[in-house]
Amino acid sequence: MLAFTELAKSSVDLLKEFTAGNPAISSLLTGEKLVFSGVGTRDVYNISAPFMDNGELVIAGRVEIRDNEASEVMFFVRRKGEWVPRNGAPVFALQDPFFTFIRGELVFGGVEVYFDGDDPHYVTSWRTVFYRGHSINDLEPFAKGPLTMKDIRLVGLENGRIGVFTRPMMVDGARALIGYTEIGELEGLTEEVISSARLLKHQFLPEEWGGANEAHLLSGGMIGVLGHIACMEENNIRHYYPMVFAYDPAHHRYSPVKLIATRSMFPDGPAKRPDLEDVIFSGGLIRNKDGTASLYAGVSDAEAHVIVIPDPFLEYEK
């Protein structure tokens, strides 16, 4: 049975614990910037982990002008050490792409953003949208989440059902919480089902927030959740940290959040804005056979990096 806590810890305390437990990690582990070309002067960030599509490794990435929020999601393949747009692949007017495979079918999604008609820089709302298909080129829309909800993620379970993580805002006095529910078929992914998910309390302080970025089915039926925890200080300075926890769907129990990386572990580089310098957005994680994991992340809302870290889910499988 998972150990769990009744009291959330602040991201500041989690950062202190992570640093104290890994005093030399910044010097031992160094992220690598991924090089993207074929998109002009636009940035590529908040990438997914790579996945196979028709026998070829691809990455989905958010493509954006530095001083704008209007994004496209494009699919990239690696050529001569660089990631280039895949010929003939669809382009989506979305942000922050993600994927999973449910019963062998590709499920892809991202955040659809709505802008003010008079001010193209002003975001009025957003929602998560979902597509399905047997390859990138035959993706079709099939579901959407409630307005203002990001970070809805799916995972196939041992019993054949589908786990759904949600992220409602302004609930139970908190800025945002993670929720969980299950569906039997992809057709059951409705706004009503998503909105009724059971909340995972005690993960974040009321003034902080976070969300699930990817869910991994672990041995024994546990779900390993890759996510982020975030806070904001004066002048709207944001801090985003990659984190993980384990969830037991059979008993609605979950382990405390723990950090797995910080900005200092990645090479220096530009930021979209000064308030976004300390932002690491967990895009996806590949578990390697040697006890490590490759974390793919957006850095400072301007670049995409990968870093090899100890597999953070191994402790939940012991």
Q: What is the CATH number of the domain that holds 306?
A: 2.115.10.20
Mean pLDDT, the chain, whole residue set: 93
- Flag whether 130 is in a domain: yes
Q: Cβ-count burial of 33 within 10 angstroms (0-12 exposed, 13-18 middle, 19+ buried)?
A: middle
Whole-model pTM?
Answer: 0.94
pLDDT at position 1 over 50: no
Q: Is residue 154 part of a domain?
A: yes
Residue 3 domain-assigned (yes or no): no
- Of the listed ranges 25-34, 87-96, 120-129, 249-258, the least confidently predicted one is 25-34
Q: Is residue 274 part of a domain?
A: yes
Residue 23 binned pLDDT confidence (cut-offs 50, 70, 90): low
The number of distinct structural domains making up the chain is 1
Question: pLDDT at residue 20 above 90?
Answer: no
Question: Which of 75-79, 117-121, 181-185, 294-298 is the least confident region?
Answer: 117-121
pLDDT at 3: 58
Please give the structure tokens belonging to residue 139.
């993706």
At 149, the amino acid letter reads M
Residue 1 lies in a domain: no
Determine, yes or no, domain membership for 128: yes
Q: Which of 157, 136, 154 is nearest to 145 (CA)?
A: 154
pLDDT value of position 105: 97
30-87 tens-digit pLDDT: 889 999 999 999 999 999 999 999 999 999 999 999 998 889 999 999 999 999 999 9
In a domain, 5, yes or no: no
**8 A C-beta contact, residue 116 and residue 124:** yes
Report residue 26's pLDDT band, with 50, 70 and 90 as the boundaries.
Answer: low
Min mean pLDDT across 166-175, 224-233, 285-294 is at 166-175
Model confidence at 174, pLDDT cuts 50, 70, 90, reads confident
Averaged pLDDT for residues 299-306: 97
Question: Across-strand partners of 286?
Answer: 294
Burial 59-92 (b: 16+ CB within 10 A, else e): bbbbbbeeeeeebbbbbbbeeeeebbbbeebeeb
Residue 232 lies in a domain: yes
Contacts of 16 (CB under 8 A, 6+ apart): none
Can you give the residue range of the structural domain that contains 57? 11-317
Stronger pLDDT, 282 or 116, i.e. the higher one: 282
Predicted local distance difference test score (pLDDT) of residue 30: 80
